[in-house]
């Protein structure tokens, strides 16, 4: 049971009770031994889910905790993907350093977009971030070193240090799964701890009422730009992994729809909640990549949809059902459960709290 | 050449302005940015395509049918999606419109396929006149430049003198007070969405006359139109049109001298202007309640 917190330590501790530690260890054990019970086929989707979780964590920090909005996060994704690939291919920089550098570049650009964001709100901020994301994409698309319109191939994922003859190349989905899983766990812990510190509380204060926060001494300039920078960093890390998963990308991969889907993930999952981002990412990625790419294969719904496609729609366009379902889910979540999937989870937990009475 | 760029920039800018009017009308009255505006127009344009090619209606009949469709679409989206949200936040409404955008694009892609189609519009860009030496103008440009001021005038008269227009202005100023004064606020919102949908549809058809029709053809134009609207200040209709015109001009001129950087110029300009005047050029300053 959650007790009242009497000391600051209880507020910031990671595990509030022995049970939490137990379930966490169980979950981690399950995740790390996943390759034993699931065929390798599923790991592509799992990797994508993990990548989107990282990105969603970052965007959630910006939108859910700090109350800003960004429609341009696809641009930071792209910086992560292009940056890491470029640094590894052309300069031979080892993987971990390359990804950190790409993340820092993205963080710097996030800081830059955070500056005008200090004065903008709502739709104006949405447009500014939108334009920024698109501008990044256009600039990347123009520079020939980045492959122009053709795009880039990722180099072999070598997580060792080639210069010191300590190479270790990851070739399979499962190998990448372990790598991304470890990074994701670090990011979750990082973001979760961040929200419990002074920085996190400043973010929440800004979201709730930024003028009041400023009056109370929260330096808006520092914290708003910091929020943008950190969320850009997360997006870039996610983007780097995304690039390696795909193996190949071009400027058009990271378009506006990409940003919209990212925003959808955190809203559907639950704004301002880490568990929500995780759940949202799982649902949306599963919908987009697994369930709805093969709509016709669903047992009853599939045949019904194929029949209706032949009658009034085109069968070729049946892929688009994923977009339709995603859009409707987004709308449905806002209408029925504004707290997102996390809100649904909380309701379920609360319902069973007083069971069996 | 300069005059040519000027005229074309103004024409495209007027189109952006038209789409921006549609966005601004909704934003003024209900505080929602309708991100689905472009897609609503796109779907209506597809309906025109459908009537033209599958049922072989003449253009004017297809146009009327499309307008009826636009009316229904606007009303449907408002009633089904936006009305249901209880106590929505600004972000929540934004997400609803984004979701509607995804859904509408998916519907269009599902029904008509993702390939590009061309529509024969009466005001084509192919016809070319030369009223003044060195100036080439085509029917499309004339149509746009005549139509947009007409719409602005009609809207102005509507908002100023008609009862419904006054009701809309009242709703915009204070929703609860309007309710207390007996205005059916929900119906006003539906009407606003209908007007917006129709204007957006006409703007989309103007855009479609210039290029091919595919499910995503309105996305770029919508972003530009929205940017132009933000530039001019979302709260005033003349501001929106002026913002669109400016954006069209800037884009066209830069597009001529620096074709590669054309898309970015627009956004850089907007970000710069927004930094200096956060609520747009022609709007009153955005005042926020503490």
pLDDT one-digit tens code per residue, B165-198: 888 888 888 888 888 888 888 888 888 889 999 9
Q: Answer whether residue B164 is part of any domain.
A: yes
- State yes or no: pLDDT of B260 exceeds 80: no
Phi, psi of A248 (to 5 degrees): -160, 140
- Between strands B137-138 and A169-170, the pairing is unpaired
- For the question of an ipTM over 0.95, the answer is no
Q: Which chain A residue lies closest to B264 (C-alpha atoms)?
A: A135
Q: Which chain B residue lies closest to A266 (C-alpha atoms)?
A: B95
Q: Specify the pLDDT at position A233.
A: 94
Residues of B in contact with A138 (CB under 8 A): 261, 263-264
Q: How far apart are CA B139 and CA A231, in angstroms?
A: 48
For tokens 């997102």, the residue is A340
- State yes or no: pLDDT of A221 exceeds 80: yes
Q: Answer whether residue B158 is part of any domain.
A: yes
Q: How far apart are CA A281 and CA A50, in angstroms?
A: 8
The one-character DSSP state at A287 is I
Q: Answer whether residue B224 is part of any domain.
A: no
- State yes or no: pLDDT of A329 exceeds 50: yes
For residue B106, give how far its alpha carbon lies from the nearest alpha carbon of chain A (Å): 5
Q: Specify the pLDDT at position B181.
A: 87
Q: Cα–Cα distances in Å, from A16 out to A13, A24, A96, A239, B284? A: 6, 11, 33, 33, 51
The domain ranges of chain A are 42-254
Residue A234's pLDDT band (cuts 50, 70, 90): very high
Q: Does A49 touch chain B (CB under 8 A)?
A: no
Q: Specify the pLDDT at position B131.
A: 61
Pair of tokens at residue B137: 């103008």
- What lies within 8 Å, CB to CB, of A125 at 6+ separation is A68, A69, A70, A117
Decide if A263 and B226 are in contact by the 8 Å CB cutoff. Answer: no
Residue A174's pLDDT band (cuts 50, 70, 90): confident
Total-model pTM: 0.87
Decide if A331 and B109 are in contact by the 8 Å CB cutoff. Answer: no
Q: Which chain A residue lies closest to B280 (C-alpha atoms)?
A: A124
pLDDT digits 0-9 by tens, A35-80:
778 887 788 888 899 999 999 999 999 998 988 889 889 999 988 9
Q: Specify the pLDDT at position A131.
A: 84
Residue A1's pLDDT band (cuts 50, 70, 90): very low
Residue A17's SS3 state is coil
Q: Which of A151-155, B48-52, B79-83, B284-288 has the lowest mean pLDDT?
A: B284-288
Residue B91's pLDDT band (cuts 50, 70, 90): confident
Q: Does B260 touch chain A (CB under 8 A)?
A: yes
Q: Specify the pLDDT at position A231.
A: 93
Q: Specify the pLDDT at position B284.
A: 62
pLDDT digits 0-9 by tens, B106-150:
888 877 777 777 766 666 555 566 565 556 677 777 778 888 888
Q: Specify the pLDDT at position B240.
A: 86
Residue A301's SS3 state is helix
Q: Answer whether residue B281 is part of any domain.
A: no
CA B188 to chain centre: 19
Q: Answer whether residue B35 is part of any domain.
A: yes
Mutate to test the interface with A, among B50, B102, B288 (most CBs of A within 10 A): B102
- State yes or no: pLDDT of B263 exceeds 80: no
- State yes or no: pLDDT of A8 exceeds 70: yes
Residues of B in contact with A264 (CB under 8 A): 95, 98-99, 102
In chain B, positions 105-144, which contact chain A (CB-CB < 8 Å)?
105-107, 109-114
Q: Answer whether residue B8 is part of any domain.
A: yes
Q: How far apart are CA A262 and CA A270, in angstroms?
A: 12
The proportion of chain A whose per-residue pLDDT surpasses 70, expressed as a percent, equals 89
Decide if A317 and B113 are in contact by the 8 Å CB cutoff. Answer: yes
pLDDT digits 0-9 by tens, A142-158:
777 776 677 777 777 77
Q: How far apart are CA B211 and CA B118, in angstroms?
A: 7
| Mean pLDDT for the stretch of residues B28-55 | 84
Q: Does B283 touch chain A (CB under 8 A)?
A: no
The verdict on whether omega for the bond into residue A356 sits within 30 degrees of 0, i.e. cis, is yes
Decide if A124 and B278 are in contact by the 8 Å CB cutoff. Answer: yes
Nearest to A263 among B96, B98, B263 (CB): B98
Range of the domain at B88: 2-216
Q: Specify the pLDDT at position B115.
A: 73
Decide if B227 and A127 are in contact by the 8 Å CB cutoff. Answer: yes
Q: Specify the pLDDT at position B288.
A: 54
Q: How far apart are CA B15 and CA B33, in angstroms?
A: 18
Counting one residue from chain A and one from chain B, the pairs whose CB atoms sit within 8 A come to 163
Q: Answer whether residue B185 is part of any domain.
A: yes
Count how many domains chain B has: 1
Nearest to A132 among B85, B266, B271 (CB): B271
């Amino acid at each position: 049971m959650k007790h009242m917190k009497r000391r600051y330590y209880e507020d910031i501790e990671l595990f509030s009770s022995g049970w939490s530690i137990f379930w966490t260890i169980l979950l981690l054990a399950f995740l790390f031994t996943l390759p034993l019970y699931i065929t390798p086929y599923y790991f592509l989707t799992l990797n994508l889910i993990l990548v989107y979780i990282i990105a969603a964590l970052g965007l959630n920090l910006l939108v859910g905790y700090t109350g800003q909005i960004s429609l341009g996060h696809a641009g930071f994704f792209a910086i992560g993907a292009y940056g890491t690939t470029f640094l590894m291919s052309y300069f031979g920089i080892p993987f971990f350093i390359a990804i950190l550098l790409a993340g820092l570049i993205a963080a710097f650009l996030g800081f830059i977009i955070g500056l005008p964001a200090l004065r903008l709100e709502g739709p104006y901020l949405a447009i500014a971030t939108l334009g920024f994301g698109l501008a990044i994409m256009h600039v990347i698309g123009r520079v020939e070193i980045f492959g122009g319109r053709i795009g880039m191939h990722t180099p072999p994922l070598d997580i060792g240090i080639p210069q010191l003859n300590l190479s270790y190349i990851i070739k399979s989905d499962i190998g990448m799964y372990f790598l991304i899983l470890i990074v994701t766990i670090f990011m979750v812990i990082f973001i979760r701890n961040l929200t419990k510190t002074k920085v996190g509380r400043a973010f929440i204060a800004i979201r709730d009422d930024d003028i009041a926060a400023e009056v109370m001494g929260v330096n808006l300039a520092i914290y708003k730009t910091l929020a943008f920078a950190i969320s850009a960093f997360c997006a870039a890390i996610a983007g780097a992994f995304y690039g390696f998963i795909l193996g190949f990308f071009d400027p058009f991969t990271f378009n506006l729809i990409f940003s919209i889907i990212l925003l959808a993930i955190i809203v559907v999952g639950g704004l301002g909640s880490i568990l929500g981002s995780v759940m949202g990412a799982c649902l949306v990625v599963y919908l987009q990549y697994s369930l709805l790419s093969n709509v016709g294969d669903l047992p009853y719904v599939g045949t019904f949809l194929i029949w209706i496609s032949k009658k009034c729609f085109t069968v070729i366009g049946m892929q688009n059902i994923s977009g339709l379902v995603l859009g409707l889910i987004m709308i449905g979540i806002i209408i029925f459960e504004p707290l997102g999937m996390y809100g649904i989870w909380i309701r379920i937990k609360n319902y069973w709290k007083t069971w069996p009475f | 050449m300069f005059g040519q760029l000027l005229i074309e920039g103004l024409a495209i800018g007027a189109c952006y302005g038209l789409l921006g009017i549609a966005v601004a009308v909704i934003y003024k009255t209900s505080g929602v940015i309708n991100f689905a505006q472009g897609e609503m127009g796109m779907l209506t344009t597809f309906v025109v395509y459908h009537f033209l090619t599958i049922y072989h209606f003449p253009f004017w009949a297809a146009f009327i049918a499309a307008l009826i469709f636009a009316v229904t679409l606007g009303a449907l989206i408002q009633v089904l999606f936006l009305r249901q949200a209880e106590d929505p936040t600004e972000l929540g409404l934004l997400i609803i419109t984004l979701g509607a955008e995804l859904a509408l694009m998916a519907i269009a892609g599902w029904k008509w396929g993702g390939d590009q189609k061309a529509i024969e519009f009466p005001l084509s860009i192919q016809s070319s006149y030369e009223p003044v030496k060195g100036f080439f103008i085509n029917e499309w440009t004339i149509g746009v430049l005549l139509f947009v001021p007409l719409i602005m005038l009609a809207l102005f008269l509507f908002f100023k003198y008609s009862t419904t227009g006054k009701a809309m202005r009242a709703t915009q100023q204070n929703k609860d007070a309007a309710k207390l004064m007996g205005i059916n606020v929900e119906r006003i919102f539906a009407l606003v969405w209908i007007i917006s949908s129709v204007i957006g549809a006409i703007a989309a058809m103007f855009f479609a006359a210039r290029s091919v029709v595919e499910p995503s053809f309105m996305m770029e134009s919508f972003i530009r139109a929205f940017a132009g609207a933000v530039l001019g200040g979302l709260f005033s209709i003349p501001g929106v049109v002026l913002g669109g015109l400016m954006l069209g001009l800037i884009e066209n001129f830069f597009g001529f001298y620096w074709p590669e950087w054309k898309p970015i110029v627009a956004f850089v300009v907007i970000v710069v202007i927004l930094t200096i005047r956060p609520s747009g050029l022609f709007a009153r300053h955005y005042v926020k309640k503490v």
